[in-house]
Structure 1
């Protein structure tokens, strides 16, 4: 059965969990696959997220179970704790480059092709904006036999120089409302890569603190202050 979000859309929580796994597989490969605690920290981080969420452990686990039933994530058994990895390109039948763009849209909300190219710097280096647009149009023109579109080009907002793209992992969207919504302010292009690296470091620190808290709990010791 094809991956069809028109009839079986992901929930917002499922999309956040899936996209976070996709992000961390590329930005922190040494810590991947993720434990539930590390995944939760990534889902709830305040940087590079639109909207910011505060998921509970139960909500994240329920989302993982639902995604696993659709072959979009895989549980990797460990000696101490289970870890999770995504299986999105194979489960959804899309190229890795398209998966990167969908995950970025799911994590950060609608973006222009230029913004996506900058934000994807640590995930995948696209040759130019045209290559980003080619993958986006392929997602937007995905055939019914393959499950239908997974991205949509929004109408250009008043005063905007470029149109933004939105993901359809959670089903159809109100394109007019999304187009009219003011995008969050972004750093200047020259500072974008540095900004992205700082955000990634913040996320890594959050994941490490979560792992440390889990280890301290297992050992029965207090988490060091700081």
Structure 2
């Protein structure tokens, strides 16, 4: 996997949303790509397959596009018509990533933290992973980049069977969510240890009671009992 030579500047939330939309639409609606500002706005603000759902104005999008363009993450073009300005992403080249890695990051930018199974299902229209283990392998590569991790695995949530993954393109994930997950995992561990300790103490208590009962049964009869007819 190619890697950027040095750590890149963190993205702002709306920058990540725009890049995620451009990556997604390049694959899902190739006839409309590169996107006009109107199409990009619809993709950023759509109510489905987005977490969180937002309502960004055209002026906010325009200002953010200018910032992305200055960093070569977005390219401007007038396309074949030469009349309407359109936008394309240059994310893979700037970050030095293969299609699979770009797809996973796009899904995380658009939908928030997800499990390996969720990422595989949500990526289906952009890139087909052979199985869950291949998704996890790419995530591990993204997490181990020498130029800086791009994803990280969160602690399991209470009652969850799988870990969730988040992207680090906007910096470390919100401490509240990570801290809550860590605290919950610690609480579960402490509870398991306490239950195990109590079970051990109950077992010891039962053994002591049984031993005491055996010792009482083996004792000789008292004089009063022996004098009874």
What is the TM-score of this pair, normalised by structure 1?
A: 0.74
Distance in 1 (CA, whole Å) between partners of 2:175 and 2:138 is 20
Report which of the two structures shows the higher radius of gyration computed on alpha carbons. Answer: 2
Distance in 1 (CA, whole Å) between partners of 2:99 and 2:178 is 26
- Note closer, same or farther for the CA distance 1:29–1:50 as it changes in structure 2 (3 Å cut): same
CA offsets per residue over residues 137-192 of structure 1, 9 Å max, x none? Answer: 1111111xx2x0100000011110000000011011246614747xxxxxxxxxxx
Query: Which is bigger in relative contact order (C-alpha 8 A, separation at least 6)?
Result: 1
Distance in 2 (CA, whole Å) between partners of 1:81 and 1:50 is 29
Distance in 2 (CA, whole Å) between partners of 1:164 and 1:3 is 27
Residue-pair matches, total: 176
Q: In 2, are the aligned partners of 1:68 and 1:74 still within 8 Å (CA)?
A: yes
Q: Of residues 133, 137, 143 in structure 2, which corresponds to 1:134?
A: 137
Report how far residue 61 of structure 1 moved: 1.0
What is the TM-score of this pair, normalised by structure 2?
A: 0.73
Report how far residue 44 of structure 1 moved: 0.3
Summarize the alignment of residues 1-226 of structure 1 with structure 2, pairs less than 5 Å apart. Answer: 2=5, 4-5=7-8, 8-78=9-79, 79-143=82-146, 146=147, 148-174=148-174, 177-178=177-178, 180=180
Structure 1 runs (4+) deviating above 3 angstroms are 178-181
- Extract unaligned runs of 5+ from structure 1: 182-226
How large is the Cα RMSD of the aligned pairs? 1.6
